[in-house]
Amino acid sequence: MIPRSTPPLLAAFLLLAILPHPAFADFKFCNGTQSRVGVSIGYQDSKGWATEGWWNIASQACETLLKGPVPSQFIYVYAVDYDRGGEWAGSHFMCTGDKSFAIRGVQDCPKRGYKRTGFFEVDTGEGQEWTVRLTDPDDKDDNKEAVGK
């Protein structure tokens, strides 16, 4: 309880300090390669499947791709090496576009004018933060890793 003699501005600050704050679990992506990469992500939320892209991430840079609560336990990632060619892909197929896109649904991609693209899966578990790091193929046996807190 806040005493009546407390100035209004201080009372407002104290009230904000004791209210519960939502936990945020940003999904971040770090490009540890020597190349620029293009990244797209897929996930399932309350409205169904969605894919989004492209984030262009410079060499040795990180970017937050999803701000706030991660929409599902599993996030799917596809990345392209712009400078040397190649990709980081997987066996979970979703729709992508050539330019910036936000696509609902993962069925009949070519019939709807999109590419059918294989994404790799990231299990975010119940972590508060998740970061996917890409590395050059020569750096380690597996050139992608997910780190969570």
The model's pLDDT over 46-76, given as tens digits with 9 standing for 90+, comes to 899 999 999 999 999 999 998 887 778 899 9
Identify the H or E element spanning 16. Answer: helix 8-18
- Give domain status of residue 132, yes or no: yes
Q: Are 124 and 77 in contact (CB under 8 A)?
A: no
- Give domain status of residue 29, yes or no: yes
- Full-model pTM: 0.76
Question: Considering only CA atoms, which of 105, 108, 148 is closest in space to residue 126?
Answer: 148
Q: Which residue has the higher pLDDT, 138 or 144?
A: 138
Number of domains in the chain: 1
Q: Tokens for 68, please give them.
A: 């706030």
- What CATH number does residue 43 fall under? 2.60.40
- Give domain status of residue 112, yes or no: yes
Res 51: pLDDT = 96
Res 148: pLDDT = 41
- Give domain status of residue 110, yes or no: yes
- The C-alpha atoms of residue 3 and residue 103 are separated, in whole angstroms, by 53
- Give domain status of residue 17, yes or no: no
Average pLDDT (121-134) is 83
Look up tokens 């399932």; give the residue: 44
Range of the domain at 70: 23-148
- Give domain status of residue 4, yes or no: no
**pLDDT (tens digit, 9 = 90+) per residue, 80-101?**
999 999 999 999 999 999 999 9
